[in-house]
């Protein structure tokens, strides 16, 4: 990764940390404003989803590595995987949710940190997972009941699942998980020590502050859009034009716009259909989390195969 991109990501962590503190104070201390779920959905569709809107370009690159000339194969495979995730969630929601949370934890930890770490060892991959696991653990720790309500709205009605969660909460397993996540950040900071890697703790405290002050949905939206997605989008923009960030962002916006609009259209159609059998907040939560799961699985698979076969 170029030094230019590393510097941008470092500055981004500082900006996001101060942004989180100001936002949390404004919403929690002074005004106690209630941000609607529809605003969260709009932010995720506009900012969050767009960071995966160049997957078709990466897919074409992967096909070239396999000497496959037909680009339709990528689109068909991507859509089939997304559809399979949705169908599986309908049939086995608890298992799909757990798998999604595990994969998302690793993805968040890796994507948010790898610009600082030049190591692909299995131990480092475990550290990535534990670091990203904080995104899942923090809302459970600070807002356990609200998080359970979200799970229920996501079609999770398995009594064993909720009994396990209650056991985890009553036996301080969540706190132990947060301690492990904290230790992973410390290990990543000390590994090949550089002072600039202190930004790992800025991201760590930003996540804790968000989840302490804000509801689980709002905290996740702010993290997903303004830390994870923007960081990934910036790396894509730099890749499009290494000499000019402004032009790279312009090219990224132009290339990402079609799939972002298409995803938004499908999301609002699904929201319209779901609103017949759900209240608005419940329908929005399904669109956000089940929709993200259906896009995350093929997105991560694409990143994995591209990274593996490009070496």
Q: Indicate whether 201 pLDDT > 70.
A: yes
**Inter-CA distances, 123 with 72, 108, 127, 129, 265, Å:** 37, 16, 6, 10, 41
Mean pLDDT of 257-263: 86
Q: Token pair of 86, please?
A: 């949705």
Separation CA 111–CA 17 (nearest Å): 17
Q: Token pair of 75, please?
A: 């689109």
Q: Indicate whether 154 pLDDT > 60.
A: yes
Cβ count within 10 A of residue 215: 21
Mean pLDDT of 69-74: 84
How far is Cα of residue 26 from the mean position of the Cα atoms in its chain?
Answer: 24
Q: What is the pLDDT at residue 185?
A: 94
Q: Indicate whether 170 pLDDT > 60.
A: yes
10-47 pLDDT, tens digit each: 888 888 988 888 877 777 655 545 567 889 999 999 99
51 burial via Cβ count (<10 Å: 0-12, 13-18, 19+):
buried
Mean pLDDT of 263-283: 86
104-122 pLDDT, tens digit each: 999 999 989 988 887 888 8
Question: What does the mean pLDDT of the chain come to?
Answer: 86
Separation CA 214–CA 194 (nearest Å): 32
130 CB contacts (<8 Å, ≥6 apart)? 105, 109, 180, 181, 183, 184
Mean pLDDT of 124-130: 94
Q: Indicate whether 289 pLDDT > 80.
A: yes
219-237 pLDDT, tens digit each: 999 999 999 999 888 888 8
Separation CA 200–CA 67 (nearest Å): 39
pLDDT band at 192 (very low <50, low <70, confident <90, very high): confident
Q: What is the pLDDT at residue 28?
A: 63
Separation CA 272–CA 88 (nearest Å): 22
The structural domains of the chain, with segments of one domain joined by +, span 3-310
Q: Indicate whether 203 pLDDT > 60.
A: yes
pLDDT band at 73 (very low <50, low <70, confident <90, very high): confident
């Amino acid at each position: 990764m170029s030094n230019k991109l590393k510097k941008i990501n470092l500055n981004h962590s500082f900006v996001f940390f101060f942004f989180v503190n100001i936002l949390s104070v404004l919403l929690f201390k002074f005004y106690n404003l209630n941000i609607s779920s529809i605003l969260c959905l709009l932010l995720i569709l506009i900012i969050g989803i767009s960071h995966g809107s160049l997957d078709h370009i990466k897919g074409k690159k992967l096909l070239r590595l396999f000497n496959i000339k037909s680009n339709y194969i990528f689109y068909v495979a991507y859509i089939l995987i997304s559809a399979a995730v949705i169908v599986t969630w309908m049939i086995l929601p608890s298992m799909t949710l757990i798998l999604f949370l595990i994969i998302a934890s690793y993805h968040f930890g890796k994507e948010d940190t790898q610009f600082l770490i030049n190591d692909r060892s299995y131990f480092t991959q475990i550290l990535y997972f534990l670091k990203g696991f904080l995104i899942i653990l923090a809302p459970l720790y600070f807002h356990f009941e609200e998080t359970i309500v979200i799970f229920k709205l996501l079609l999770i009605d398995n009594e064993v699942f909720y009994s396990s969660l209650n056991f985890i909460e009553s036996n301080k397993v969540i706190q132990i998980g947060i301690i492990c996540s904290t230790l992973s950040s410390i290990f990543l900071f000390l590994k090949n020590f550089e002072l600039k890697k202190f930004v790992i703790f800025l991201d760590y405290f930003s996540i804790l502050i968000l989840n302490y002050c804000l509801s689980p949905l709002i905290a996740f939206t702010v993290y997903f859009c303004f830390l994870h997605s923007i960081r990934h989008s910036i790396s894509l923009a730099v890749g499009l034009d290494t000499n000019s960030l402004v032009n790279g962002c312009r090219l990224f916006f132009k290339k990402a716009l079609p799939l972002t609009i298409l995803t938004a259209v499908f999301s609002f159609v699904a929201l319209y259909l779901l609103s017949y059998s759900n209240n608005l907040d419940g329908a929005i939560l399904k669109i956000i989390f089940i929709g993200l799961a259906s896009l995350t699985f093929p997105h991560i698979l694409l990143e994995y195969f591209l990274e593996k076969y490009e070496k």
